[in-house]
Chain A
Amino acid sequence: MKSPDPQNRELENAILLEQSGELTAAEREALHQTLDDRPELAAWARESQVLQKAGQAATEDLTPPLPELSRERILKAASQPTSKTLPRLLAVAAMLVLALGLLPHLSRRLQSPHPVFTTHIESVEVDFQDEDPLLDDLESLQDQLAVWSDMSLEDNRILEDENDWAEILLTLEEPI
């Protein structure tokens, strides 16, 4: 069974390729001629085939049939519209713009000379609600985002689609 020398290994490769139908007629004939003179390799060929059939038979014997529900789920997933890539990309781009836009405001706030514990809470609240340019920026970006992605930020679909979006990013690793 064991065939450590390189020549045998090449012949075993040829046997495997013959079993998978990847040899030309001429190569097949040459291999069969060789096997006539090499009974140990002919035995290896038979054993290899037996062990492959055994695995296949074991799967057939032990594997339960795939439930019909799986097929239905796949078809259901396929019938949902999947061309949401562009709006999603725009939404992500808008999020990045938003984050970059907020960064200077946030850093200014963090670098404020007034210690946090001395600030009057009520006045901060009023500032934030009525006059804060940060809020204006947020609103305008929110409007832009809604226009670009053709959907409202309040739309629950955005949250629902997060998983899908993550899946799309993951499958980008699997191109042909």
Chain B
Amino acid sequence: MENQPLENLLEQYRKGDIEALGRLVDETRRPLYGFIVGMVRDPHQAEDLFQDVWIRAIKGLHRYQSDRLLSWLFRIARNRIIDISRKRKPDASLQQPIGGTDSSNTLESVLPNFDQGPERHTSNRELALRIQQAVHALPLEQREVYLMRTEAHMPFKQIAGIQNVSINTSLARMQYAIKHLREALADDYASLNSLSRTP
């Protein structure tokens, strides 16, 4: 996501245009909400967290001096998620490797194509669930990097800044995330791999 339009909207909001804030919320909805859902997996909790992140951002706006609003929002979201996960007991079942036995689902089928019929949509959903479970089984830091890349298309330099680590650490986490997903989705991967060779 481009930084400049967000910064322009933020500037308008700072000048008192409340509708500019509404547009900012809309613009950040997809990446930020997607990231939070991916991290906590509960859409209701994600919704509360999304609101909480934005309200905290608004209240702390006088301290915001960067030109990377999305990074700032992600940083707030990340801190809140870490707080929550510290209070929660680990769910052992979520740490189990995921791998289905049905290889008829392909990545192609889960890629967004809303012209497809309801039967196709159901199989999409099953594969999507397995992918989401595999993502959720990743260790927290790897999941963060993976979701910041996939949901917000954030560059690694920015991700490293949010995670407060070197860019090499963020890259290593992404490598491990890919390795773990590859293993977890091994049963689906034969189809996924052949799809990836398709031009």
Contacts and interface: CB of A to CB of B under 8 A. Distances in A.
Interface of A: 1-2, 9, 12-13, 16-17, 20-22, 46-64, 66-67, 70-71, 73-75, 77-79, 82, 164, 167-168, 170-171, 173-176
Q: Which 5 A-B pairs have the closest CB atoms?
A: A58-B131, A58-B128, A61-B128, A50-B196, A55-B150
A168 B59 contact: yes
Contacts of A57: 107, 110-112, 128, 131
B197 A46 contact: yes
Nearest to A85: B62
A20 B96 CA distance: 30
A59 B66 CA distance: 29
Interface residues of B, number: 67
Interface in B165-187: 168, 171-172, 174-175, 178-179, 181-182, 185
B11 interface: no
A61 B60 contact: no
Contact of A51 (B26, B37, B63, B185): B185
A9 B18 contact: no
For chain A, what secondary structure do more than half of its interface residues adopt (helix, strand, loop), or is it mixed?
helix
B107 A59 contact: no
B150 A74 contact: no
A77 to B, nearest CB: 5
Interface in B13-29: 13, 18, 21-22, 25-26, 29
A13 B166 CA distance: 13
Contacts of B125: 61-62
Interface string B80-101: 0000000000000000000000
Contact of A59 (B56, B150, B185): B150
Contacts of A62: 125, 128-129, 132
20 contacts: A13-B168, A13-B175, A22-B156, A46-B193, A47-B193, A50-B193, A50-B195, A51-B178, A55-B38, A55-B131, A56-B151, A61-B110, A61-B125, A63-B43, A74-B54, A78-B13, A171-B60, A173-B79, A174-B76, A176-B65
B56 A71 contact: no
Contacts of A73: 51
B126 to A, nearest CB: 10
Interface string B57-73: 01110011110100010
B149 to A, nearest CB: 6
A16 B72 contact: no
A175 B75 CA distance: 9
B47 interface: yes
Contact of B51 (A48, A55, A70, A168): A70
A43 B186 CA distance: 15
A106 B132 CA distance: 60
B124 A54 contact: no
Contacts of B58: 74, 77-78, 82
A139 to B, nearest CB: 33
A47 B178 contact: yes
Contacts of A52: 146, 149-150, 178
A62 B132 CA distance: 9
B196 A22 contact: no
B95 to A, nearest CB: 18
A75 B55 CA distance: 9
Given A58-B135, A174-B76, A74 B37 contact: no
A67 B58 CA distance: 20
